[in-house]
Structure 1
Amino acid sequence: MRIIFMGTPEFAVPTLDALVQAGHTIVAAYSQPPRPGGRRGKALTPSPVHARAHDLGIDVRTPLSFRKEPEAVAAFAALDADVAVVAAYGLILPVSVLEAPRLGCLNVHASLLPRWRGAAPIQRAILAGDRETGVGIMQMEAGLDTGPVRLEGRTPVDGKTAGELTAELAAIGARLMVRVLADPEAHPPVTQREDGVTYASKIDKAETRLDFTQPAEQVERQIRAFNPPGAWFEHGGERIRVLDASIRHPSESWGLSSGSDQLAAKDSSESGDGGVVVDGELTIACATGAIRPTRVQRAGRGVVTTHELLNGFPIPPGTQL
């Protein structure tokens, strides 16, 4: 087929590669414009899709908006594509774009629709404690992720981080898209059910700050949902990112330090000590239970174990985070 590919982040790259490997002709790749990157944020950096398409010799186009640039819509339609494949593109597509290709626009959406329509389905699934998630090939229409689904794949969440789940769903989505395009008639669009609709709103930066007033299970979900780049807490004027952690319960040994700094292990739901460091291994009390970070990162430094962090950056028992 003659395909227009539309995507921006790393999540979309496996689908682009799979379409090329399947022998389709990518007549153009659309991606969001290069953004400031690098340590000082001055040099413009192309998106992962932009960079990959360039390496493959595919023409790359980066309009700021289809709604405000009618010439961009005309150029899109002039490509005379059989289908547009969309994967985390990041721009709203007007009806004039959705209807331009012969088979319309097919989207790789990382959830089991109608659950988690919207911008951040992977993070929201983890935060909500979903046991299972997946990816679907959706026929796009004007509504927000309301279109019928042609094919779907599922996977357990199973304690995975957002980064791990993103990579897994990207690979599944790429395989599903190739299957649908190989025989569209064998995978007719199925209307989404009307019950079970939820919305995955965009992640606010404030959400990535660890909230120790929540139960330990919810704090651990925060850590997984926001890795990468990492949920965080503050100590000594620094942000410490937590990339992995285990849940600890009051019935367990919390590795309390000896001497005057020793604290009694207790359920913080009774003591109100959410955010207090309860031992010498950086176990942190939550509303119920506690979490023990295992991999952490100070600003501007590499990822280390918690033991390595505490050797050079003490956070003693009794510290309120």
Structure 2
Amino acid sequence: MKINHATPRTLTEGDHSLYIGLTGSRTVVCTAETNARQLGLSRRPLEDLLVFNTAFGKTVHDISLNAVANLGYADVRFMCHVYSGDTLAVETEVIGLKENSNRKSGVVYVRSVARNQHGHEVLSWVRWVMVHKRNHGASCGAPVVPTTDAVVSGVRLRRDDYSAGVREITAMTGVTDLWEDYTVGTRIDHPGAMTINNSDHSIATRLYQNTARAHFDGYAMQSAGSQRLVYGGHIISVCRALAYDGLENSLSILAINGGSHVNPTHAGDTIACATKVIDKIDLGQDYVGGLRLRMIGVKNANASSISFPKACESRPAHPSNVVLDLDYTIAMPKRSA
């Protein structure tokens, strides 16, 4: 089944400024036009996660409006920068279905692609979401569970956006750490934390035109014995912004290899996060290398309290205060060849 999601969305400088206001993002290449040009880009790109959350929001009405929960992501690829004035259109294909044992719900697996006004793919991703069944007794047939790679391989990562000018980023941040200075196993406890206000996550979800009832309808959530949930994409954005300290010279997100919203976040919770370097990827470029990172976000606790699961644990048993476990890859400038 293929779905063309309504309606295409043009992203503007206003959207970008509002995103910064909601998350506090300080990504250097997206902060100032002068930064972007000095680093070798034609102009300042939009924040990667603004693009992701906007494209994701387009799929919600058709895929997860009535979802029980958004369960996870895989194979998320950021294929080129998106700029102010670009228009995104999104298409989704259902690639798997699996009924749950209680026969009241099931998991839907989808692959979505966002294209700009020129028809170029700018973003693609796989996600799976738990959805209620209309008729609990209806037969759903044999389960179809798609296979995805655990990691977006280096050959599939974007590698042609940057030139030697990216090394000048150290003069902008005042931090000298580049790709060569990070080692596998390095842990970074990011010192900042952010409390999620009702206004923050409400405005963020509206910015992305994400219509999921769990984020908007307090009456319905209260009737179900719960309260409104903070959209998981907002938590990813907040944690990414907090991770600036320790990853100051990061250029952009290349891929999200996998991720899960482990426990819910509600208004009033305070988010902190820590990152571990789990791999270094040579992109075959003189100027930029890849860092594969694992970022864990917690609520109402310090980053130093976070315990990273062992690499062999595919489904780790996180404590109840962990809200995000994200495996992603970033572009980081290299020193001179």
Identify the structure with bigger relative contact order (alpha carbons < 8 Å, sequence gap 6+): 2
Larger proportion of strand = 2
Q: Choose 1 or 2 for highest CA Rg.
A: 1
Give TM-score scaled by structure 1 length. Answer: 0.24
